Amino acid sequence: MTRYREFHRRSIEAPDAFWRDEAARIHWHTPFETVLDRSNPPFARWFTGGRTNLCHNAVDRHLADRPQQQALIYISTETGIERRYTYAELYAEVNRMAAVMRSLGVARGDRVLIYLPMIPEAMFAMLACARLGAIHSVVFGGFAAPNLAARIDDAKPVLIVTADAGARGGKVIDYAPLIDEALSRAAHKTPHVLMIDRQLAPEKFSAPYLLDYEPLREQFFDAHVPCEWLESNEPSYVLYTSGTTGRPKGVQRDVGGYAVALAASMEYIFEGRAGDTMFTASDIGWVVGHSYIIYAPLIAGLTTVMYEGTPIRPDGGIWWRLVEQYKINLMFTAPTALRVLKKQDPALMKAADLSSLRTLFLAGEPLDEPTAAWVSQSLGKPVVDNYWQTETGWPILAIQRGVEALTPKLGSPGVPVYGYNVTLRDEVTGEPCAPGEKGVITLAYPLPPGCMSTVWGDDARFVDTYWSSVPNQTVYSTFDWGVQDETGYVTILGRTDDVINVAGHRLGTREIEEALSGHNAVAEVAVVGVNDPVKGQAALAFTVLRDADRYASDEARAKLEAELTATVDRQLGSIARPARVHIVSMLPKTRSGKLLRRAIAALAEGRDPGDLPTIEDPAALQQIRDALQASAPR
Ligand code: PRX
């Protein structure tokens, strides 16, 4: 471990020298003056005074060396469309999009909300924003209108870029009515909405505010839009994520630090070299998509594969065939997808020539040992689990094979990544844990380049949420439990807060509770995450009704449950839909009225909830047990 240890030690003890070297990986229009400005902790400003541009680094810079290399391979198994773009073609498309945006008044510092399915235009729109110095905020296409409205009101965009429809599992999802509803719900009035017409929606939606992209693209076909040279710490994007409250947080990212961090990660963690092909099966609505579908592979001169579809359509061999057909070298997905693939006919994997594939990367949720063992055996390639968050933008824990190919430990995403000063701490005292002791995973100041700069529009929330939760310490809390062994490997043991992870999607249980409370039958509700063999976790809801007598019959209860899950679909989107909504007459609470969520989750997973000396009425636990029992498969 000597090489890794020395590398990590230098990054922590001499961060200025370490990151000064790494900064040479990207193009600086104006060199930076200071590597790290620590004058206002816990805020860290990297590469101050330096001017650069993400789009220049991702696209323009490659025009000299690799204009004819594929930059993007787009495959949709939903529409049967395949499109390829060289770096020169990507440059042209991004310039067209940037020119259209500019003609609509988009300028440096403005926000552009992107609500798009997985289509090439999503990449063009993100890069066009980066080019103009506008701040993109991509909202996952599976989110429902009220969710979208909340993000519109927080980001206050000057433009929304959307499409007529998305597609998933063979079903077309009309976007225009969602946009229409979101716009009418939002207090902020967005001046323009640009629509990419995929001609998928069954009916043409025409609202006076909708602008069709295609004729505008034609109009600006030969446009060249210069890159805005941004100061390294200007915002590049805002990406909303869930936390403890129902109000989503806008994670704000910088420009220079992010570019440097991603470029370095491509060598030390992903071992991706210019000319390689990388397939990250995620969505541009998530951080993995931002970092490893769009920015990192392009900055490093790779070919990135963007995929619309599921892993099992037309059949469970599709991803392996893509590896063969496009000679994919690096693949990155979430454990959920592998748990799905594990259930497919093994012949489907064996039939494909996977010789191009060097490494499989997995992140987003715990990688369970059986799945890890299955995939490494059947693939016969290194599998690199990596642990990180929307907030950090790139891995915190991983085996950094580009530094030293340490032996993986089953069930652990590995050791702290260079730049991250990781300490597990006692939840009550804030003191460091001994090896083998469970604690909160914390990061010392400063966070390395690329991590969130602040919460969009709310510096106080950044400090209060992330830097004030560990007693007696000013450290960043990941809100994850973990345990570290003597050699440094960390195992993740779940969240310390009310965030759950369903099929790799991060959801706040409070958001789901708020959606359910909106139904007038509901008096009180508790949502918890419980183990699920495929999705990692599933949400379960327990509700107390206002008028329980109305729902006495099984039929009335079943109808109500369907209505309640539909409410979540409408408010948040179907990804947040609870697996079950149970009806009880009281919820377990402390005498001071705090919901005992951990006790509910323990019962739902068949564990002992432990001693609960502060519980108001122990009968409430029995109610949860009864409800679970009544619904258990016989
Ligand atoms: O709980 C951890 C879990 O996912 C959370 C972050 O989710 P998100 O913001 O969507 O970012 C995902 C970026 C990969 C973490 O707080 N998590 C992420 N990766 C892992 C993980 N849990 C266990 N193992 C992982 N590799």
Ligand 1 centre to CA of 17 (Å) is: 29
Q: Is any atom of ligand 1 closer than 6 Å to the C-beta of 389?
A: yes
Of the chain, the percentage scoring pLDDT greater than 90 comes to 93
Across the range 2-21, mean pLDDT stands at 98
Q: Is any atom of ligand 1 closer than 6 Å to the C-beta of 401?
A: no
Beta bridge partners of 537: 531
Q: Is any atom of ligand 1 closer than 6 Å to the C-beta of 287?
A: yes
Provide the pLDDT for residue 634: 53
pLDDT, averaged across the chain: 96
Q: Tell me how far CA of residue 134 lies from CA of 124, 155, 235, in angstroms.
A: 13, 12, 8
Tokens of 30: 């104006």
Torsion sign over Cα 347, 348, 349, 351: positive
Ligand 1 centre to CA of 613 (Å) is: 32
**Amino acid, res. 90:** L
DSSP codes joined into one string, 445-458:
SSPPTTS--EETT-
Half-sphere exposure of 466 (CA within 13 A, CB side): 27
Q: Is any atom of ligand 1 closer than 6 Å to the C-beta of 392?
A: no
- The rounded radius of gyration (Å) of the Cα atoms in the chain is 24
In three state form, how does the secondary structure of 71-99 look?
EEEEEECCCCCEEEEEHHHHHHHHHHHHH
Ligand 1 centre to CA of 494 (Å) is: 9
Ligand 1 centre to CA of 506 (Å) is: 8
Distance CA(609)–CA(150), nearest Å, equals 36
Give the tens place of pLDDT for each residue, 289-301: 999 999 999 999 9
Taking 60 as the threshold, does the pLDDT of residue 154 lie above it? yes
Ligand 1, residue 506: give the atom nearest the CA. Answer: 10
Tokens of 445: 């100041």
The residue contributing the CA closest to ligand 1 atom 8 is 389
Ligand 1 centre to CA of 497 (Å) is: 13
* Chain CA centroid to CA 69, Å: 28
Give the residue, out of 262, 292, 387, with the most ligand 1 atoms within 8 A of its beta carbon, to mutate for a pocket test.
387
Taking 80 as the threshold, does the pLDDT of residue 244 lie above it? no
Within 10 angstroms of residue 554's Cβ, the number of other Cβ atoms is 9
Ligand 1 centre to CA of 285 (Å) is: 15
In three state form, how does the secondary structure of 327-392 look?
CCCEEEECHHHHHHHHCCCHHHHHCCCCCCCCEEEEECCCCCHHHHHHHHHHHCCCEEEEECCCCC
Provide the pLDDT for residue 633: 62
Tell me which DSSP letter residue 575 carries. G
Give the tens place of pLDDT for each residue, 538-587: 999 999 999 999 999 999 999 999 999 999 999 999 999 999 999 999 99
The residue contributing the CA closest to ligand 1 atom 13 is 389
Give the tens place of pLDDT for each residue, 199-241: 999 888 888 899 999 999 999 999 999 999 999 999 999 999 9
Of the chain, the percentage scoring pLDDT greater than 70 comes to 100
603: three-class secondary structure by DSSP:
helix
Ligand 1, residue 504: give the atom nearest the CA. Answer: 10
Q: Is any atom of ligand 1 closer than 6 Å to the C-beta of 288?
A: yes
Taking 80 as the threshold, does the pLDDT of residue 245 lie above it? no
Tokens of 585: 């007459």
pTM recorded for the entire structure: 0.95
Q: Is any atom of ligand 1 closer than 6 Å to the C-beta of 257?
A: no
Tokens of 28: 């600086």
Provide the pLDDT for residue 181: 96
Taking 90 as the threshold, does the pLDDT of residue 68 lie above it? yes
